[in-house]
Amino acid sequence: MSELDFNAACPLPISQYPHVLMAHGGGGKLMHQLLEKVFGQAFSNPILDARHDSAQFAVPPGKLAMTTDSYVVRPIFFPGGDIGSMAIHGTVNDLAMSGARPLYLSCGFIIEEGLPMETLWRVVGSMRDAALKCGVQIVTGDTKVVDKGKGDGLFINTTGLGVIEHPQTIFPQNVQPGDAIIVSGDLGRHGMAIMAVREGLEFETTIESDSAPVQEPVLELLKHGIEIHCLRDLTRGGLASALNEIAEAAGVKIIVEEKLIPVREDVHAACEMLGLDPLHVANEGRFVAFVAAPDAARALDILRRHEVSGAASLIGRVAEKSAPLVAIKSAIGASRILDMPSGEQLPRIC
């Protein structure tokens, strides 16, 4: 049995408590059982096992990076992932966008009364496996149970702490004219995987979420001395939002070529059916990198060695210092402005 195998049988007496009760958040015996038998058993490590009000741990030399995020995806389970693995991947990836090596996570659970205990156990098991794969430890957390009808099943908050062990400063303001722009893989799969399930759409192949950790290719870029000016994960708002945010922060004009941006045909078809632009759709295992132009070819070679970034593509460049603008060239050479999406096109996908 590998270290990532997980016993699907919940350790709590399911026959007695098949659903989460308000008492599971009430501070008494049932809450103690939930914390010890579900969360404690799944996430066990020396720091968490101290069972103290705060985690105590050593931090390697270097600058610290810290991030927090909340996950409210519906449905909880979807092709290619679930709310649990996505919560781990999303926070680890946020740390990676600073060039940080992820170390520790905290997890907060808001559970709706009536959630099947087996559902909670599946999510916790998925988080355990994802944390092992990412090489991080869950060292502290919190659980709250809310009244039925007040929580839509399960919400998760994760906070991550990582260490920056390199001298580079990776910020949007460091983007410069001439920088090469690289995306780490095909776009739009996460949002379309969620919407296909939610809307009952059927395609010849199942669209699976791209949810995955990306710290390994990022850390390898840094290890090989690639000059990285900015990294951004392509979550809500997709590539379009990320490019516009960076253009605004750096005061630059960005030019990308539509034909170079990787989007799968089934994702294109799903987007057309729903009237969406795949460049506006969220991803959970993709990022955009702004690197010094002389390093672009080496960066692509490094990224393509990793499964999660095997389809990395050079999609454009930073043209000049100017009023913030993102332009996209079509296959026939015409240009248009690529704006941020207006409003919330795809609710509850992350």
Q: Which domains does the chain have, with CATH numbers?
A: 22-164 (3.30.1330.10), 172-337 (3.90.650.10)
Predicted pLDDT at 333: 85
Alpha-carbon span 188 to 270, nearest angstrom: 10
> Of 70, 93, 97, whose CA–CA distance to 155 is shortest?
70
Answer whether 67's CB lies under 8 Å from 95's CB: yes
Predicted pLDDT at 7: 53
Predicted pLDDT at 331: 85
Alpha-carbon span 214 to 286, nearest angstrom: 7
Alpha-carbon span 308 to 297, nearest angstrom: 18
> Of 255, 248, 251, whose CA–CA distance to 321 is shortest?
251
Report how far apart, in Å, the C-alpha atoms of 27 and of each of 23, 33, 124, 139 are: 8, 10, 20, 20
Alpha-carbon span 66 to 105, nearest angstrom: 10
Alpha-carbon span 146 to 91, nearest angstrom: 24
What are φ and ψ of residue 255, in 5° steps? -125, 125
Q: What is the pTM of this model?
A: 0.93
Q: What is the pLDDT along the chain (350 residues), one digit of tens a residue?
A: 344 455 556 776 655 788 999 999 998 989 998 999 899 999 999 999 999 999 999 989 999 999 999 999 999 999 999 999 999 999 999 999 999 999 999 999 999 999 999 999 999 999 999 999 999 999 999 999 999 998 889 999 999 999 999 999 999 999 999 999 999 999 999 999 998 888 787 777 889 999 999 999 999 999 999 999 999 999 989 999 999 999 999 999 999 999 999 999 999 988 988 889 999 999 999 999 999 999 999 999 999 999 999 999 999 999 999 999 999 999 888 999 999 887 666 677 88
Predicted pLDDT at 2: 45
Answer whether 86's CB lies under 8 Å from 350's CB: yes
Alpha-carbon span 138 to 158, nearest angstrom: 9
Q: Give the residue ranges of DSSP H helices in 277-330.
A: 296-303
